[in-house]
Amino acid sequence: MRVLAIDSSGLTATVAVVEDTQTIAEYTVNYKKTHSQTLLPMIDEMARMIELDLNTLDAIAVSGGPGSFTGLRIGSATAKGLGLALDKPLIHVPTVDALAYSVYGCGDIICPIMDARRKQVYTGIYTFSAKAGETEGTNLVEPVFQVLKMQMAVSVEDLIRRLNNYNRPVVFLGDGVPVYSEMLSEGLKVPYSFAPSYMNRQRAAVVGALGIRYFKAGKFETAAEHKPDYLRVSQAERERAEREKNAKTTVRRMTMEDAAAVAEMEHQLFADAWSEKAVLDTLGLSNTICLTAEKAGRITGYLLAYTAADEAEIARIAVAKEFQRQGAARTMLEELFDLCAQQEVGKVLLDVRESNAAARSLYEHAGFKEDGVRQKFYENPVEDAILMSRPTGK
C-alpha cells in the first residue's frame, strides 16, 4: 500500500510518501514560513524527485488535528483537494496520535503536548505494550499501540495531575515542551524525559505509517467527508463570543437590507418559514411594525406585527438559538409597546402554541393575559393556539 501523508497542524510542515515497509520520501520544514506558501511546493518537489505518479497512491493520510486552526485548514484543504481530484480516500490521523507513534515500542507513558496557549495544551496519553508473535518458534515481538487517553485540550496543571496518577515514567514531545518544561519540572512527581530532536516534532512519515494501520482497520473516509478536529474554537471566535456576551442588545426598525438575514433565521427556526419575498412584502406594507434586535453588530432576533384600528397583532417574534434567554425578545416587545403607544394603538395581540411553555412564560412576564383558545390552529404538528393580549399602557 502507498500513501501520501500530510501534516501542517503545528509549526512544522511535513509531507511524505510511505509504503507498508518503507518511507519512499519525506520533506520536512520547521521554519518561519506559512504553510500556505510551503505545503504544495513541498509535495510537488518531493513527487518530482521520486518521479511519483499521484494516481498510483492508494490513499492520502492527513494529520487532522488538534493543532493550529490555520495550519489544520491548510492541510485539510490540500488533502481534500487532492483526494477529490484523484478520487482517493482520506485517512484522518489525529495529530497527537502520530506524535506518540513516533516513539515506537516505548513502554513508558508517552505524552505529546502541543501549545494551545493560556497554559493549555493539546495532548493525549499513550504507551506501547509488547505482544508476542503468533508464529511458533519465533521471538518476534509486535508492540501494540495503546491509547490510554484520547486527544484532548487541557490545562497543564490538569495534565500533570493525570500523569502523576499513573505513577509511571513519562516521555514528552511536541512544541509544548519548550513552553511548559518549567511547569512540568515543578509539578511532576514521576520520572520523565524529553524525546530527542529527530522525533520531537510532527513527521509525515509517521502520519503515513500510522495511517496505513488505520486504513487496514477500516478507519478511512471520503475526501468530501473529511473535517479536521479543532477541539476548541479559535481565538478569534472566543473573542467574538466574549464581545457578544458583554454587548448590549439594541432594537431598531427593520430595513429591506435585513430581509435576507431574517429569512435565513426563519428557515433555521420554523417548519413554516417565511421566504425572503414574504418578509419584503410585509416590510412594504404601511400597517406593519417590523423590528430587529442586534448585538455586537449581528442581527439576533426580529418581530413582525400588523396594525389595524387600535390593535396590533404579532405575526412573528423569534430569536436565534445562540442568543436566546439573553433578553432580546423582551427588549423587542418593550420597543413594540412604546411604538404602539406613540401611534395610539391600545392593545397588542398574539397567539402561541399551547405546548410552548417558554414563550407563554415570556409573554406572561411581559404583561400578556390569556383570552381564549383557538382549537387546532397550528399544523406540523396540529395543536391548539392560546390567544393572549395586553394593553400598551404602562
DSSP characters over 26-83: EEEE-SSS-HHHHHHHHHHHHHHHTT--GGG-SEEEEE--SS-HHHHHHHHHHHHHHH
Q: pLDDT category, 240, cuts 50, 70, 90?
A: low
Could you tell me which residue, 205 or 141, shows the higher pLDDT?
205
Pairing between β-strand 288-295 and β-strand 298-308 as defined by DSSP bridges:
antiparallel
H helix intervals, 188-295: 204-216, 235-246, 259-269, 276-283
pLDDT exceeds 60 at position 133: no
Residue type, 54: L
Homologous superfamily of 98-195: ATPase, nucleotide binding domain (3.30.420.40)
Q: Which residue has the cell 387546532?
A: 376
Alpha-carbon distance values, 277 to 165, 232, 283, 361, 390 (Å)? 62, 38, 10, 32, 30
| Residue 302 cell numbers, joined | 426580529
Q: What class does CATH assign to 2-96+203-232?
A: alpha beta
- Asked whether the beta carbons of 16 and 25 are under 8 A apart, the reply is yes
pLDDT surpasses 80 at 236: no
Instruction: Supply the pLDDT for residue 131.
Output: 65
> Could you give the count of Cα atoms lying within 13 Å of 148 in the half-sphere of its Cβ?
20
Ranges of each domain in the chain: 2-96+203-232, 98-195, 243-391
- CATH number of 243-391: 1.20.1250.20, 3.40.190.10, 3.40.630.30, 3.20.20.140? 3.40.630.30
Q: Quick check: do 2-96+203-232 and 98-195 share a fold?
A: yes
C-alpha cell read off for 166: 499513573
**b/e per residue, 275-285, with b = 16+ CB within 10 A?**
eeeebbebbee
Residue 134 pLDDT? 53
Number of helical H runs and strand E runs in the chain: 11, 17
Checking if the pLDDT of 128 tops 70, the result is yes
pLDDT score of 243: 65
pLDDT at residue 317 greater than cutoff 80: yes
At 266 the three-state DSSP class reads helix
* Dihedral angle of Cα 329, 333, 334, 340, to the nearest 10 degrees: 160
Phi first, then psi, for residue 391 (nearest 5°) are -70, 155
Average pLDDT over residues 69-81: 92
pTM greater than 0.75 (yes/no): no
Distance, in Å, from the CA atom of 146 to the CA atom of 139, rounded to the nearest integer, reads 21
Which comes out higher in pLDDT, residue 240 or 66? 66
Rounded to an integer, the average pLDDT of 77-83 is 95
Confidence band for 309, pLDDT divided at 50, 70 and 90: confident
| Contact of 41 with 35, CB cutoff 8 Å | no
Q: What are phi and psi of 346, to 5 degrees?
A: -90, -20
How much is the mean pLDDT over the chain? 91
Percent of the chain at pLDDT exceeding 90: 77
Task: Point out the least confidently predicted range of 27-36, 309-318, 343-352.
Answer: 27-36
- pLDDT, residue 181, reads 96
8 Å CB contact between 52 and 17: yes
Give the dihedral sign, CA 14/19/21/25.
negative
Per residue in 370-383, pLDDT (tens digit) is 999 999 998 888 99
Note whether 211 and 59 are within 8 A (CB): yes
Question: What are the CA-CA distances from residue 351 to residues 92, 146, 162, 305 (Å)?
Answer: 50, 58, 54, 12
Query: pLDDT class for 231, splitting at 50, 70, 90?
Result: low
